[in-house]
A and B are shown apart, each in its own frame.
Chain A
Amino acid sequence: MPIAAGLTDRAVEIAPGVHWVGALDPHLRSFDIILKTANGTSYNSYVVRGSNGVAVIDTVKENFADDFFRRLESVAQYEEITTIVLNHLEPDHSGALPELLKRAPQARVYLSSRAQMMLKALLKPSGEKPPEYIPVTTDDEVDLGGRTLRFLHTPYLHWPDTQCTYLVEDGLLFTGDVFGCHFCDARLFNDTVGDFRFSFEYYYAHIMRPFREYVLDAIALIEPLVINLIAPAHGPILRHQPRDYVHRYRELATPRLFNEAKSEKTLVVFYISAYGNTRRMAEALAAGAESIGGVRVSLYDLEGGEGGIFTDLVEEADGLAFGSPTINADAVKPIWDLLSSLTTVNVKGKLGAAFGSYGWSGEAVRLIEDRLRGLKLRVPVEGLRIKLVPDASELEACRSLGEQLARHLTGRLEHREIDLAALA
C-alpha cells in the first residue's frame, strides 16, 4: 500500500481534543549524516485543545511546513494558539517555528533553560527577534483550561535542551526524540504499522545510547506517571502498551556487567600485532594489571573481530588499553575503526592507555593517546613504545605499566608531588 494512503491533509485525532499535525517524509534515506532509514521518517507534532487555550507541541522540518500548517489549520485557528512547547530545538522539530511565530505571535513559547541560547542561535538568520519565551523545568505547569501540561526536565536526550511534556489529565506523554525512530508509515500507530522494532532499537543505539546515564534519569521521572499514550517526535505513536517502550529503554540503558563486589574494576586490553611483538607487550601488561588485584583484565586481538562487536565491552569497561604497531607512521586501521566507532557510547572519564612495538619512528602510541584524550578519556600514564622485539626488561616495563593502570583504576596510588615547570 502506498505510504501515504489513508492519510489526508487533515489532522489525526490521537485522543479526544489532541491531534497529530505532523508530516511524513517517506523518501528520506539518511538523517543527521549518522543514521540510515529504509522508509523515511515522520516529524510528529501535536495540538492539544483546552477550554481556554490551544497548545502546539513541536513543529516539523522547514520544508515540510506546508503539510504541518494545513493539518494545524484543520483543527485550530492561529488566534486560538496560546502556547507553543518546544521539547527539542533540532531543526527537524523547530524548522517551522519562525513561520508559526509569525502566524501566532500571541503564543507564549515554553522551553527548557538550556534551550534559550539555542533558540537565539537558531533564529539568527530569520532576523526576527526571539519571541517571548518561558524557561521551564520539572513540575512546571501550563493550564490550558481543564487540561494541564506538565514539564519534565530530561536533558541530553540527545541535545542539552531536550525535555518531555505530560498532559496530566489524559496520561499522554510528548517525548520529543525519546522513544522515537526514523520510520515512516501513514498508519501512524504502533499497533497498525507492523513490526518496527529494528528501527526503534537502531535509533536508540545511535542517538540515545551515548547518553545512557541521562536516559536512566529520564526514565526515573517517567516511570511513576500514568501513561496511556506516548507521542514521540518521530515514528509510530505508541498507544498499545506504551509502557513496554519505557521498560525497553530502561533495559537498554542499564549497565550489564555482573559486578558482585562493586569494587572490582574492568580493564580491557585491545591489541593487534603483525609479528607478535605488540601481542607480547599486551600479555605482559595484562599480567601486570592482574597482579594488583581488584581488576578484572581481558585481552582481545582486534584481528579476531569486526564491525562494532567490541562496543559493549568498551561501554562497560572502566579502563581501556590499546596496542598497535606503527605501520607507515601511523597506528593500524582496526584501531582507528574501533576508536571512531565509540561515539555511540559514553567513554568520558574512562582510563585510557596506549602501547606498541615499532621499528624506527613509532608514531602509533602518541597518535592513539591524542585520540583517547580527544574522546575525553583520561590518560594519566604515559604510553609505552618498544623498539622491535621486547626483551625481558622491556616486558617488565609493560608489566609495570599494567600495574600502574590497575592502581589508577582501584585508587591505590601513591601520592606524588610535582612542579608544573618540570612537566613542560
Chain B
Amino acid sequence: MPKAKVTFQDIGVSVTVPAGTRLIEVSEKVGAGITYGCREGECCTCLTKVISGGENLAAPSVLEDQVLKDNMAPRGHRLACQAQIIGGEIVVKPA
C-alpha cells in the first residue's frame, strides 16, 4: 500500500501512514495538539494549519469549504477530521 509521511510540528513527531488515512486518525494516536468536537466537519474545532504539502491532502469537500469560509479560516487551513492524506509528505500544526 502506498505510504505517506505526516509531521505534527507542535509535538515534533513524524508518522508514516498508509495513503487514505485521515489526519484525525493519526493526530489522535500520537497526541498532537489538534482537538476535536463534532468530528463530522461542522464545528471547525479541528482547524489545522498546513505548513507544507497541502497538495498531498485530498481536496476539501463542499461542506468543508463552507465551514472553513464561515469561520474565516485563512488560506492553507484544513479540518483535520475531514482531510485525507493521499501520499508524499505533509507538515501540519494546530491552527
A414 touches B12 (CB 8 A): yes
* Proximity string of chain A (408-422) to chain B, C-beta cutoff 8 Å, 1 when within and 0 when not: 100001111111100
14 contacts between A and B (CB under 8 A): A114-B70, A114-B71, A349-B94, A376-B36, A378-B11, A378-B35, A415-B14, A417-B14, A419-B15, A420-B15, A420-B16, A420-B18, A420-B29, A424-B29
| B70 contacts across to A, CB distance below 8 A | 113-114
Among B11, B16, B26, the one with the most A-chain Cβ atoms within 10 Å of its Cβ is B11
Contacting A at CB under 8 A, from B1-19, are 11-18
A408 touches B15 (CB 8 A): no
* Known A113-B70, A114-B70, A349-B35; contact A380-B30, beta-carbon cutoff 8 A: yes
Q: Is A120 an interface residue (CB 8 A)?
A: no
Q: Is B32 an interface residue (CB 8 A)?
A: yes
- A residues engaging B (CB < 8 A)? 113-114, 348-349, 373, 376-381, 408, 413-420, 423-424
Contacting A at CB under 8 A, from B69-89, are 70-71
Sort chain B's interface into a size bin. 20 to 34
| A373 contacts across to B, CB distance below 8 A | 28
Partner of A418, one of B13, B18, B34, B94: B13
5 new A-B contacts, CB < 8 A, other than A416-B13, A419-B16, are A114-B70, A378-B34, A415-B14, A418-B13, A418-B15
Among A378, A408, A417, the one with the most B-chain Cβ atoms within 10 Å of its Cβ is A378
Contacting A at CB under 8 A, from B48-95, are 70-71, 94
| A349 contacts across to B, CB distance below 8 A | 33, 35, 94
> Shortest beta-carbon distance, A155 to chain B, in Å?
8
| A377 contacts across to B, CB distance below 8 A | 35
> Shortest beta-carbon distance, A311 to chain B, in Å?
20
Q: How far is the CA of A348 from the CA of B34 in the complex (A)?
A: 9
Q: How far is the CA of A114 from the CA of B68 in the complex (A)?
A: 11
Chain A's closest residue to B94 (CB) is: A349
Majority secondary structure of chain A interface residues (helix, strand, loop or mixed): loop
A413 touches B12 (CB 8 A): yes
Chain B's closest residue to A417 (CB) is: B14
Q: How far is the CA of A143 from the CA of B71 in the complex (A)?
A: 27
| A416 contacts across to B, CB distance below 8 A | 12-14
* Known A416-B14, A418-B14; contact A423-B35, beta-carbon cutoff 8 A: no
Partner of B35, one of A376, A415, A417, A424: A376
Q: How far is the CA of A113 from the CA of B69 in the complex (A)?
A: 10
| Pairs A-B, 5 closest by C-beta atoms | A380-B31, A376-B35, A413-B12, A378-B33, A420-B17
B21 touches A420 (CB 8 A): yes
| B26 contacts across to A, CB distance below 8 A | 420
B37 touches A415 (CB 8 A): no
* Known A349-B94, A420-B26, A420-B29; contact A376-B37, beta-carbon cutoff 8 A: yes
| B13 contacts across to A, CB distance below 8 A | 415-418
| B16 contacts across to A, CB distance below 8 A | 417-420
| B33 contacts across to A, CB distance below 8 A | 349, 378, 380
Q: How far is the CA of A209 from the CA of B15 in the complex (A)?
A: 37
| A415 contacts across to B, CB distance below 8 A | 12-14
Chain B's closest residue to A412 (CB) is: B12
Q: How far is the CA of A113 from the CA of B13 in the complex (A)?
A: 37
B32 touches A378 (CB 8 A): yes
Chain A's closest residue to B14 (CB) is: A417
Q: How far is the CA of A78 from the CA of B82 in the complex (A)?
A: 46
| B12 contacts across to A, CB distance below 8 A | 413-416
* Known A113-B70, A349-B94, A418-B13; contact A380-B45, beta-carbon cutoff 8 A: no
| A419 contacts across to B, CB distance below 8 A | 15-16
> Shortest beta-carbon distance, A414 to chain B, in Å?
7
